[in-house]
Structure 1
Amino acid sequence: MKTALSMLAALALAVPALADPVGITKEMMEVAVPLPEGGSATISRIQDNDNKVTGDWALTSRACPPFCIQPHAPAEGVTTIGELELIEMLKDPNAVVVDGRVRSNFEGGSIPGAISIPYTEAADRLGELGCEIDFDGFDCENARPVALFCNGPWCGQSPAAARRMIEAGYPAEKIHYYRGGMQVWRMLGLTVTE
């Protein structure tokens, strides 16, 4: 009898705490977003009420430099956004959500629907964002709205990408900066690509 009770207690500890549903908002439990390669992905929050951020994402104090807290806006004219605005951009077929981190970070997990344009390549890949190459560099008259993100508020990769894009001719008012990045996205238990 004692062994059976011990086994039931161990099983109860192994089951995630599902007491209360975890929505994105009160009205939105999940959202489907189109993927760049076709198809769609569903974004939701982890339903385990006891879920915690672990590993590198739980670190609060990285050496500065290089991991210094970034300004709220990386450049004049750029709009800083939060998770709900980013989700709206993911749903917008005209907008592009860009993971500005180095490729290995992108491959380690990203926001569903984002494309990888490492910050070191941002100024050279404006053609993927609605600009056309011309003799002086890029003509960005038809630039698409873009949201940039990287690892978190202490990561300088997407702010550097935004500044380089603007220097290359991309209109600052078309750039949105998701400052929370992957650290806050993961902290909120939102879906991450594998």
Structure 2
Amino acid sequence: MFKVVFTALMLSAVPALAQDAVNITRDIASVTVPLPGGGSAEVSRNQDTTHRLEGDWALTSRPCPSFCIQPMIPAPGVTPIGELELLDLLQDPQVVVADGRIRSQFAEGTIPGAVSIPYLEAADRLDVLGCEVDFDGFDCAVEGLKKVALFCNGPWCGQSPTAARRMIEAGFPAENIYYYRGGMQMWRLFGLTVVPGT
């Protein structure tokens, strides 16, 4: 009798579990972030509990070089961050979230609210972060300088670490740089919202 009652209770609990939301955290179902061109986007997790990564995002063993595992801190002074910190930074008007990948990768899908600053252009686009153009390049010792959160394809992608190092060499302060090492691979692994880059 106990076995029958226990089994019936367990079966009645299954539908409730299947209907539970796939939240970002226990208390956060979604986050609304401003978009660079105006408007906003809602970031949430994919609600399909059977969803899996496919294609290049599911690959684990690419040859090194060029797909070498990147350090957590790409240059001294840079702050590594995770998904929750990035969600906070996406809502901060004093932070630019920069997709350091090449434009075609950005166009295929990016994090809502991110702007395209390809890694080869990062040192030449410091005006976007508040640096002033001068005869030698940029003066970043100015009031109102923004912070930047850089990301690229994932822990094996060297595009945003290269961007960070080039920006620092061009005079941008390392302490104003955040590095989301997980990049698009981890963002997708968590089922977070991806939008076409515009």
Distance 2:104 2:63 in 1: 21
**Any unmatched runs of 5+ in structure 2?**
1-16
Which SS does the other structure have where 1:61 is aligned?
coil
In structure 2, the partner of 1:94 is 94
> Does 2:156 correspond to 1:158?
no
Distance 1:111 1:18 in 2: 27
Conserved 8 A contact 1:20-1:49: no
In structure 2, the partner of 1:180 is 182
Amino acid at match of 1:158: S
Q: How far does residue 134 in structure 1 lie from its aligned partner after superposition? A: 1.1
In structure 1, the partner of 2:105 is 105
Amino acid at match of 2:70: Q
Which SS does the other structure have where 1:84 is aligned?
helix
CA displacement 1:72-112 (0-9 Å, x = unmatched): 10000000000000000000011100000000000000000
Aligned residue-pair number: 178
TM-score, normalization by structure 2: 0.88
In structure 2, the partner of 1:146 is 148
The aligned runs of 1:35-74 (5 Å cut-off) are: 35-74=35-74
Q: How far does residue 47 in structure 1 lie from its aligned partner after superposition? A: 0.4
CA displacement 1:45-73 (0-9 Å, x = unmatched): 00011111111100001110000000110
TM-score, normalization by structure 1: 0.90
Distance 1:87 1:119 in 2: 22
Q: How far does residue 135 in structure 1 lie from its aligned partner after superposition? A: 1.9
Which SS does the other structure have where 1:62 is aligned?
coil
Q: How far does residue 18 in structure 1 lie from its aligned partner after superposition? A: 5.0
In structure 1, the partner of 2:28 is 28
